[in-house]
Amino acid sequence: MIERAEAVYNLLKSHRDAGDVDAAFSAFDSMAALGDAPEVVRIRAEAADSLVWDYCKAGQLETAQSIFDSMAALGDAPEVVCERARAAYSLVWHYGHARQLKTAHSLFDSMAAFGDDPEVVRWRARAASPLVYYYCQAKQLETAQSLFDSMAAFGADPKVVRWRARAASSLVYYYCQAKQLETAQSLFDSMGAYGDDPEVVRWRASATYSLVEAYCQVGRLEATHLIFNFMAEFTKIEHVWVRREFVRKVGVERIAAACGAVSLDKNGDYELMSVNLGGSTGACPVLKMLNPSSGVWHMEFVPPEVTTVVAALSWRNQSDLNPVQLT
């Protein structure tokens, strides 16, 4: 029966790949006749979870909910419970997206019955994060904050912390939008305890954007301190687009001013500056430039021995030619 279950699952997968969810459901339905052997049940649970996702994506939440409900009959083997938790996450996310927040929250609460298996806890955290966002979007910040606070009980697993950081970033943004800057700042400060995982740094960067923009709008000097403190973490950001977005949103001039930048050399649209990042990093040369292709100002770190724009460009391009000539 296991071989037959695997064969039907492969058929179901081929229907999914072809975009024929209803045919995939028919294949899933036929699996009920294959018995209750533990491995067969696990395959059925995996198939059910994938269908819940597909029907959610198609906006057919009633069908997805019906399949999810039927998974309860598959028992409480750890592998099955994990699939049920994953399916519940899919539903919570899509109910939230459909603005059915009460239904989403009720389903999220029911996930507590799935237990404390680490993988289950990760899915519970992953479900909580978008629900926080959708409550924020609906301007229900107290409910969003309460839900976020409950995520602390999920522990310090790195994947859980990433979802807490993402939820915190959502709250910071919407507190800023509501002009609750002290609350936003307090929550942002707490994100420092989440560590230096690249994904966490990414969401802390996003929260920094929100606060800097909000402080600048009301003319408060905290923006300068935020930029300076964040620049000490700037080199930890692995995602180039996150670095670029930070500079774009905050502004090259604000970053330079916040870090006490000193001009070392200028040449056309290029300027070599020294910025002090503090701590063990100290002063670093940074090349400020206008991208000749996109017309966007940006900054790039260069080696500490670089003292002129020409040397910086030679290091950056591995050539003595100007970037315009290279392109």
Give Cβ neighbours of residue 54 (< 8 Å, ≥ 6 apart): 16, 21, 24
| Cα separation, 167 vs 112, whole angstroms | 19
Q: Is residue 145 over pLDDT 50?
A: yes
Domain that residue 288 falls in = 261-327
36 belongs to a structural domain = no
Residue 285's alpha-carbon distances to 114, 263, 274, in angstroms, are 53, 9, 4
Residue 142 forms part of a structural domain = no
- Angstrom distance (rounded) from CA 8 to CA 294: 51
Asked if pLDDT for residue 206 goes beyond 60, the answer is yes
Treating both helix axes as pointing N-terminal to C-terminal, what angle do 118-137 and 158-177 enclose, rounded to 10 degrees? Answer: 10
Q: What is the pLDDT of residue 247?
A: 63
Confidence of residue 324 (pLDDT cuts 50, 70, 90): very low
Q: Is residue 303 part of a domain?
A: yes
> Mean of the pLDDT values across residues 265-271?
86
Confidence of residue 209 (pLDDT cuts 50, 70, 90): confident
Residue 238 has pLDDT above 70, yes or no: no
For residue 319, tell me if it sits in a domain.
Answer: yes
The pLDDT tens digits of the residues spanning 194-205 come to 998 888 988 988
Cα diameter, the chain:
77
Mean pLDDT across 94-122: 97
pLDDT category at 151 given cuts 50, 70, 90 is very high
Higher pLDDT, 281 or 257: 257
Q: State mean pLDDT over 81-103.
A: 97
- Residue 288 domain-assigned (yes or no): yes
Domain assignment present for residue 311? The answer is yes
Domain assignment present for residue 100? The answer is no
In a domain, 95, yes or no: no
Which residue would you say has higher pLDDT here, 327 or 43? 43
- 247 compared with 96, residue with greater pLDDT: 96
Sheet holding 270-276, edge to edge: 262-267, 270-276, 283-290, 297-301
- Domain count for the chain: 1
